[in-house]
Amino acid sequence: MTCPRAFCGRRCCGAAAIAKVGRLEQNNGLLQIVGLLPELQVKEKPKQNPSHETTIMIPDIQAYLDRIGCQGPLAPTAETLCALQVAHLQTVPFENLSIHAGQPIVLDTDSLFEKVVVQRRGGFCYELNGLFAGLLRALGFTVGMLSAEVARADGSFSPEYDHMALLVTLADRWLADVGFGDSFREPLRLDERGEQDQGDRTYRIEEDAPFFIVLQRQGADGPWERQYRFTLQPHEFPDYAARCLFHQTSPESHFTQKRVCSLATPDGRVTLSDLRLITTRAGVRQERMLENEEEYAATLNDLFGVVV
């Protein structure tokens, strides 16, 4: 699938576009989309299907769309999903700076909205995919939060709930992910067993029941490398709480060992790894060391729009 990048810009199309999939109503000071799928309107959580939040309470949907610089059709289609993921990856950084600043990470929609949209911060997988799931559901998509285990160099996988990915069910099933750093830019077709090309990288999904495994290859002749594996069991925020706490506090977590802030660009990626600035453009990688914390803070602001 070719991603309709023309949908992504610096200004949101606003309420007119939202009206294509529903209408906005005020509820206790919060904007809420109504008129969407019936399962999004129930009052109590259906215990048999934890893949849905029952009431969509993204505090300000237009503000979220403005945050990721996305305009264009918002109907729940594969094209919209692709446009939203690409826009998200190029505007909201993958970062663990809250951990090093002593700021607790709270996994609920209001807290994540405040951090990512209002404070214009980034986050790691639970935060970014968790909030993105809320936006997609508000726009009428059927979304499940998945537990993923990250591949290790020795061939093993990390524990369950180590990563959150998203299952989006349309006419086809899609794997969406805005929280795995330097990985697939466009959603992957879950049930496609052939190669899925994205620029100079190729992806493949293998099935090894009960798991699905994402593999990535760099260039035409590069080796296939496993990224992560997951099952299709849907989960909710509390299921990730213990692993999220581990990543915030354990010296064994790679998130506690150094500061990282990374953002996709149209032709590459820019990353701050502690004081090391890494820039990749059109396949050309450059690195330089920043002088001090003052330059680090200025670079965070200039390149990522982040102030901690």
Confirm if 83 and 7 have CB atoms less than 8 A apart: yes
Average pLDDT, 10 consecutive residues per value, the chain (308 residues)? 41 33 37 33 33 62 96 94 98 98 96 98 98 97 98 97 98 98 96 96 97 95 96 98 97 97 97 98 95 98 96
Write phi, then psi, for 58 (nearest 5 degrees). Answer: -60, 120
Q: What is the distance between the alpha carbons of residues 148 and 41, in angstroms, rounded to a whole number?
A: 29
Type of residue at 154: D
**What pLDDT score was predicted for residue 72?**
85
pLDDT at 195: 97
Domain residue spans of the chain: 5-195+232-246, 258-304
Indicate the CATH number for domain 5-195+232-246.
3.30.2140.20
Q: DSSP states of 194-247 as a string?
A: S-EEETTEEEEEEEETTEEEEEEEESSSPPEEEEEEEEEEEE-GGGGHHHHHHH
